[in-house]
Every structure is written in structure tokens, then in C-alpha cells.
Homo-oligomer: A and B are copies of this chain.
């Protein structure tokens, strides 16, 4: 895959880098950032960001480099939607269109040619990791909308991802106003929504053999309306999906919260990547 490095900044003896490339799937330029540690890279973690984010937020704010510096594992942070388009309604709200791709393949007339973030991650980002960075094994995690993305990709592509974790994920988007709005705009048939809802996937028997890790602040302002963590807890229990939810007293939805626990998540992934 032809990717162009746009920035390279030495960080913790390794490099934080930014790239752009032409995507065959979204038919646009796409951006991503990475951190590659000093050692030869063997594995990767994909980080999927939340609403309004770009490839920039996690790599500048989460402090993840400090926990990866002595590993053989890189991290890659894709953008959250195609950019540079002007589709109907694409730039009108923070929770739909640009910055809000929801990691699904759109089937509506206006969006289906470009908003194919599920395939973009599953195929193109994975190919970039394997071909351009010579990565063997891959894990996936994310935050909020990106936590939802990590869960659905991790459940449906269980052989592709060695482990799955999420911060403050939208675990049941068909019951969440954020998810309902996005799915309505991106999906032509409302039944398709069930294919992109972690709780619903588990309900239909799409599960992983390993334990999924979810991290959730108890003072998260979106917990009750949008995130609905207990829905996946209940469904996982019923369906026998191993799931650990770490509730954190007093923590909110921010990158300050993520930075406080990103070390634990990286440790979780490094264990399965080095098995």
C-alpha cells in the first residue's frame, strides 16, 4: 500500500509518525498516526477514536507511548471518518458525518460510496500494518464511538484481532440516541443495525473465546443515555461471553481518564500479543 509519511517526531526513543494515503475503500485521502517503539515492531494495537476526533487526539493526549516504549508493539490511530467530501448533511452535527463514521459500512445513497469505515479498518488498516509495518499480530481498542468500533470489529473478526478492549464504549448503539441517529443516516435497512451493535451481536451468538476488557468511568456524563454499559454486561453473562468491566469511581469521559488507565489496557493487549 502506498502511504506517505507527513511527520516523524522522535518520542521515547521511538517515533510518533503521521501518514496519509489514498483509500480504495473510502475513495478519499485518509490520515493516521502511529507510535513505533525503538525495538523492531512485531505486533500492533489499533486505537479507534471517538466522536469529533481525528488521528491526532489519542497520540497527543493519552500518554500511550510511555507504556509501549520498551515493547515490540506499535499503535496505529486512524481518523474517525473520511475527510474532504461534502455529502448532504455531512458537516452539520458533531455526531454524524465527518468525525463520526461509527466504524460501519454505509448503505444509504448519500454515504455508501465513502463511509465504509468498517471495511477501512478491517481491510486497509490491517493491510497497512501487515505490508507496510510488517506486523504479525494485531489487537484492537478504542474510546466511546471507537470503543463501539473495537467491540464490533473484535467480535465479528475474532480471528483477526488477538484481544479487544474499550474505554467508555457505546455498547448497545441501537438503544442509544447517538447510535440510532448514526445508523438511521448510514444504513438503508434498519435491520442492518443489528450487525453493528456489540450487545446484539453477542445475543446472536457472535462471541469471542477470550475475555473482553471494558473500562468505564462512573461519573461519565454519557453513561446513562448513550453508553449503557450494563446492557452488554447482562448479555455477556447470559451468552457466556467472558467480559471484565472495570468501573472507575469519579472518572469521566475525557482523555485525562483514558491516560489514567491506558497503561492497564496496553498491558492487557501486550499479554495476548506475546503469547
User: What would be 22 A-B contacts, judged by CB atoms less than 8 Å apart?
Assistant: A9-B256, A10-B217, A10-B219, A10-B248, A10-B250, A10-B251, A10-B256, A11-B256, A11-B260, A12-B260, A13-B260, A16-B256, A60-B61, A60-B255, A60-B256, A63-B66, A63-B259, A65-B256, A65-B260, A66-B66, A66-B259, A66-B263
- Chain A residues with CB under 8 Å of chain B are 9-13, 16, 60-61, 63, 65-66, 217, 219, 248, 250-252, 254-257, 259-260, 263
A252 in contact with B9 (CB, 8 Å): yes
List the B side residues contacting A65 at CB < 8 Å. Answer: 256, 259-260
Expressed in whole angstroms, the Cα–Cα distance for A63 and B11 within the complex equals 12
Expressed in whole angstroms, the Cα–Cα distance for A126 and B256 within the complex equals 26
A11 in contact with B60 (CB, 8 Å): no
User: A260 to nearest B CB, angstroms?
Assistant: 5
For A10, A12, A61, A219, the residue with the greatest tally of chain B CB atoms inside 10 Å of its CB is: A10
Expressed in whole angstroms, the Cα–Cα distance for A248 and B12 within the complex equals 11
User: A59 to nearest B CB, angstroms?
Assistant: 9
List the B side residues contacting A16 at CB < 8 Å. Answer: 256
User: A8 to nearest B CB, angstroms?
Assistant: 10
List the B side residues contacting A259 at CB < 8 Å. Answer: 11-12, 63, 65-66
List the B side residues contacting A255 at CB < 8 Å. Answer: 60
- Chain B residue, CB-CB nearest to A66: B63
Expressed in whole angstroms, the Cα–Cα distance for A111 and B271 within the complex equals 57
Expressed in whole angstroms, the Cα–Cα distance for A61 and B62 within the complex equals 8
- Chain B residue, CB-CB nearest to A218: B10
8 extra interface residue pairs, beta carbon distance < 8 Å, beyond A10-B260, A61-B61: A9-B252, A10-B248, A12-B259, A12-B260, A60-B60, A60-B61, A63-B66, A66-B259
Top 5 A-B residue pairs of the complex, sorted by shortest distance between their CB atoms: A63-B63, A11-B256, A10-B250, A9-B256, A12-B260
Q: Tell whether A254 pairs with B9 under 8 Å between CB atoms, given A66-B66, A66-B259, A259-B66.
A: yes
